[in-house]
Amino acid sequence: FQTVAEELEYYKSYASKVEEDLAETRYQLEEFQQSSKELEEELEKEVESTERRYNEIRIRNDAMRQEVEEWK
């Protein structure tokens, strides 16, 4: 740098850019966390639904097995 003023201006500009980058990164992180939370909730609902269907099918299967045994 040729002058202290030039150096000062450079570092002020650099600090401003770093602050902007930090703000953008924080925003992206918040968006990611929100979308991850929504996805997790959706997947939990899907797992619960699948478990309910599995249990219903298992119960029907057990009943049918008992019925087959009665026919023997």
Q: Which of 49, 51, 56, 53 is nearest to 64 (CA)?
A: 56
Mean pLDDT across 21-50? 99
| Whole-structure pTM value | 0.66
Residues sharing a CB contact under 8 Å with residue 7, sequence separation 6 or more, in sequence order: 1
For position 32, what pLDDT does the model report? 99
Is residue 24 very low, low, confident or very high in pLDDT (cuts 50, 70, 90)?
Answer: very high
What the block records as the tokens of 32 is: 């990611």
pLDDT the model gives residue 72: 81
For the cut 90, the answer to whether the pLDDT of residue 42 exceeds it is yes
Q: Which residue has the tokens 């925003």?
A: 27
Has residue 57 got a pLDDT over 90?
Answer: yes
- DSSP-derived secondary structure letter, 3: S
- Determine the longest span between alpha carbons in the chain, in angstroms: 101
